[in-house]
Amino acid sequence: MLKLSKHEKIIVYALLLIYSVMIIVPFFMMVMNSFKTMRGIFLKPFSMPSQFVFQNYVDAWNKAQIGTAYMNSALIASTSVIGIIILSSMLAYAISRYQFPFRRQLFVYTLLGLALPARLAIIPIYIFMRNLNLINTRIGLIIIYVSLGIPFSMFLLKIFIDAVPIEIEESARIDGANPWKIFWNIIIPLIKPGIAVVSIINFVNIWNDFFFPLIFINSKSKATVTLSVMMFQGEYISSWNLLFAGLTLAMAPMLILFLIFSKQFIGGMTQGAIK
């Protein structure tokens, strides 16, 4: 730990406070202005709303179809996360525990996905999806997210599986339990912390993604939160009161989750980013 004198601490507090203000003020302004009339936003941008116009939220909710967007994003993100966990943990288990030809090559092959920006390969993915009739479907997005989530999740889960002593499952093997049961009943419960980290990271990334919905989804009824706001922004570009309310609604779920579980989020995101 870096030991600072009282003097130095005051400077550090001041700098951190300035930075914190720079982060919080834009959010604060967004929320304040989301309760004002258009006139209020343009005439008195910095003051508190003279009266709180809750109608902005009603209008934004209905016009941007935020409720549908929440449902779509939640459905797509959670289904994808489940798929990622199942496929990646099975793959990680095989690579971690089994001795077989090309084991290392398979590991490196899967790691390649860490360094391949999927967006670059979007044209063939798009054509592929079109041939499978999966354009403008949620399942299409889920398939892509699951595929893209495998490399990183496999890598992280393998670290957790490697740490489980092999003796634990050896006795079960001698008792004749089949590998499938050993995996689900012994390994999976022991790597729950790893599964939590992988789930958080993937969920946030998928919830926040914009590029793939932009390419694959073209109807409001299937749009995710990010895409809905984009469509809404295009239609109501001059109704700032609605735009501020819509942005607040779009950001709210993730912000609230983060403020409640900030420790878990920060732990997960930093643990996952660099291993």
Partner 1 sequence: MINAKKSRDRYYLLIFILPGLILYTMFVIYPFIASLLLSFYKWPGVGPKIFIGLGHYKELFFGAFRNDVLNALIHNIYFFTVTSILELGLGFFIAIMLASNIKRASLFKTIVYIPNMIPMILVGFLWGLFLNPQVGLVNQILKTIGLGSLARPWLGDATLAFPTIILVNVWRNLGFYVLILLASILNIPNELMEAAYIDGASPWNVIWKIIFPLSVPTFRTLLILMFIWSFNVFDIVYALEGAQAGPFRTTDVLGTLFYRTAFGGLGSGNTGMGLGATLSVFIFLIIMPVSILYVHIVEKGEK
* Residues within window 69-108 making contact with partner 1, judged by CB under 8 A: 87-88, 90-91, 93-94, 97-100, 106-108
Residues of this chain, 17-76, that bind partner 1 according to CB under 8 A: 19-20, 22-24, 26-27, 29-30, 41-42, 45-46
Whether residue 199 contacts residue 157, with contact meaning beta carbons closer than 8 Å, is answered with: no
User: Min. distance of Cβ 122 from partner 1 in angstroms?
Assistant: 7
Residues 1-20 that bind partner 1 (CB under 8 A): 1-4, 8-9, 12-13, 15-16, 19-20
DSSP 30-84: HHHHHTS-HHHHHH-SSSPPSS--THHHHHHHHHTTHHHHHHHHHHHHHHHHHHH
Per CB under 8 A, does 242 bind partner 1? no
Phi-psi region of 49 (alpha: psi -120 to 50; beta: other; left: phi over 0): beta
* Backbone region of residue 40 per phi and psi (left: phi > 0; alpha: psi in -120 to 50; beta: other values): alpha
Amino acid at 95: I
Cβ-proximal residues to 228 (8 Å cutoff; 6+ apart), any chain: 64, 65, 66, 68, 69, 220, 250
By CB under 8 A, residue 265 contacts partner 1: yes
Binding positions for partner 1, 112-131, rule CB under 8 A: 112-128
141 to 180: interface string for partner 1, x by CB under 8 A: --xx-xxx-xx--xx--xx------x------x----xxx
> Looking at residue 173, what DSSP letter applies?
H
Q: Does 111 bind partner 1 (CB under 8 A)?
A: yes
Binding window for partner 1 (CB under 8 A); candidates: 48-56, 63-71, 191-199, 238-246? 238-246
What binding mask, one character per residue, do residues 192-211 give for partner 1 by CB under 8 A, x or -? Answer: ------------x--xxxxx
For residue 172, give every residue at least 6 positions away whose Cβ sits within 8 Å of its Cβ, in sequence order, or none. 181, 182, 186
Q: How many CB atoms within 10 Å of residue 205?
A: 18
Output 58 or 114, the one with its CB closest to partner 1.
114
Residue nearer to partner 1 on the CB measure, 190 or 254: 254
Cα dihedral 141, 159, 194, 78 in deg (nearest 10): 10
**Minimal distance, residue 234 CB to partner 1, in Å:** 10
Q: Cβ closer to partner 1: 149 or 222?
A: 149
- Find the shortest distance in angstroms from Cβ 23 to partner 1: 6
* Distance separating alpha carbons of residues 57 and 34, to the nearest angstrom: 8
Binding-site size for partner 1 (CB under 8 A) equals 106
Residue 235, helix vs strand vs coil: helix
